[in-house]
Chains A and B, each alone.
Chain A
Amino acid sequence: MSEETKKPAGKKKLELDPRLAEYRGIWVFIEHERGTLHTVSWELLGEGRKLADKLGVPLAGVVMGEPGEDTRRFCQEAFYHGADHCYLMEDPLLKDYRNQPFTKGMTDLVNAYKPEILLLGATTLGRDLAGSVATTLKTGLTADCTELNIDVEIRSLLATRPTFGGSLLCTIQTLNYRPQMATVRPRVMAMPKRDTTRSGDITEHKLSMIESDIITKVLEFIPDQNTNKINLEYADIIVSGGKGLKKQENFQLIWELAKVLGAEVGATRPLVQSGWVEAGRQVGQTGKTVRPKLYIAAGISGAIQHRVGMDASDVIVAINNDPNAPIFDFATYGIVGNAMTILPALTEAFRRELANRRAEAVAV
C-alpha cells in the first residue's frame, strides 16, 4: 500500500489561493564564488529533487555570475545533480558577490518566473542574499534548516531547524505567502549521485542595472591561504579535543593521532576561545557541522551545542574519564579513561595496524 492511499479518507484537499497557485516549481540557488562552487548547492539539488517529485513539479537551479565558461559549466553540473532546468543571469556586475545586484537579480527572477519554493545554502553568501530577498519579496524565510519536507495536500514546505541551541527542533511553515524560502545548513543533506546522462534547458534573464547604480565596491579579495586551509566539513576522519585535555601542550596528542590517521583536527568551543586552536576548527552549533566516517572525541563532554555539529558521524569513538559524560549517550564506542594515556596508545595502535596492513600488502 502506498503512502497516498493510507491517508485518512474524508480529509478535504484545501484549495490554494489562486494568487499563490500561480507559483510553481522548486528553485535552488547555485552558489559559487571566484570559480569555486559551494557543494551545498548539490546537496540542495539532491533534497530539492525529492521535494519536486513529491509535488510533481520541475526542479530548477539558479546560476548568477559574470559571463564566461564557469556559469555554463555550473548549469551543466546542476543538471547532472538533479535539476531539470536552469535560470541563468550573466552580467559583469555579478563578478563578485555584492548584496545589491544579487538581491535585485534574484528578486526579478522570482517575480518573473514565480517558483513556489526557493532554497539557498546557509552560508555567509546565502544568508546575506536570502535575508534581503525575503524582505524585498515580503515573504517568509526559515533559516539554517536541517530537514525539509512537504505537506503535499496544501503544497506547503515543512522546514525543520534546531532552536534553543539545538536542544529542540521546530518545524516552520509559510502558509499564505510565496515563494516559501529556506536556507539549509551545509553538510546535513546527503550529496546526490552525479548522473552525466541528465540534461536540461536554460532560461536566460538580464540584470537590468549598471555599475553606477551600485553603491558598494569591492576593493580587493583576500583568499584564505590554501596551505593551511581547514577542510573540516568534508573530512572523512576527524580527531577532536576538548577541555578534558587540560593543557594546551596536551592538544599535541590530538595532532599526533590525526597525523597517523591522515585526519583533520577539530575542537570544542572553549578551546577555540582560549586560543589553543583556530576558530575554523570548532565543531558545533556555532562552528562547523561535520559528518565523517570516523569521529574521535577526546576529553569532550558532549554538550548539545557540540553534539549537533557531529552526531551524524558514522562511527563516534569517545574517550572521557567520566563514565557519566553525556557523550557516551550517543557515541558508538566509549573508553572510560585518561585521554593523556589513551591517546598515545591509540596513536601507537593505529600506527602498528597500518604498518601491518602495508606489510601484508607487500607480502601478497
Chain B
Amino acid sequence: MTLALFYIFAAVLVFGALRVITAKNPVHAVLWLILSFFTSACLWILLKAEFLAVSLVVIYVGAVMVLFLFVVMMLDINFEELRKGFWKFFPVAAVVAAIMMVEMVLVLTNRYAQIPGAELVEQAPTVQDLGRLIYIDYFLPFQLSAVLLLVGMIAAIGLTIRKRKNTKYQSPGEQIAVKAADRVRVLKMAADAPLEAPAAPAADAGEQKPQA
C-alpha cells in the first residue's frame, strides 16, 4: 500500500509542479504550487519524517503561500504580454540552462563533493531527537542562522520603510484613560421649574458649559 501511495503522491507532485510553470493565470500557478508543497509533505510522511512534513505545511502552505497568494492577487500584470518574446529568447535561455546543467553534473560527480549524508536511523527520529540536535549538538550554527534571518528581516524593513507625513493615528492608552466626565457633562435640570421664562436661564447654562 505504501508503494501505491508513493506513486500516487509522486504523480500528483510532478503534475502539480508542471502546472506551476505552465499555468497561464498566476493565481492558478500559486494554487498548484500549494498542491505541490502539500503533496511533498505527504511523501515525507511516507518516509516517517512526520515532523518535517507537518512543519512544511505549517510554514510554507500555512504562512508563506498565503502571503504569496495575497501579493499575486494584487498584481496587475498581464502575463500573456510578458510571454510574447518567449520563443525569441528561448535559444539563449536553453544554452544557459544547458551550461548550468553540465556544470552541476561536473560538480556533483566530483569525488570531493561526495560528502557522506545523514545516516538513516532505524527508528523514525522523534521531535525530542530533533530538538536535541538543534538546541544542544548544533546550538551555535542554529543560532547563527537565526541571527542571519533577523539581519535579513531588519534589512528588508530598513530598505522599504517610509515615514508617512499625513497618517493619522490614535494612542489607545489615552483613549482608554478618558473618563465620561471629559466628554459629557450631565446638567441638573429642575424638572418642576415654573413655566414662565424657562428659555433664558437654560440657554445661558447651555452657552457657558462647553468650555473644553
Query: Are A and B subunits of one complex?
Result: no
Interface residues of chain B, those whose CB is within 8 Å of chain A, are none
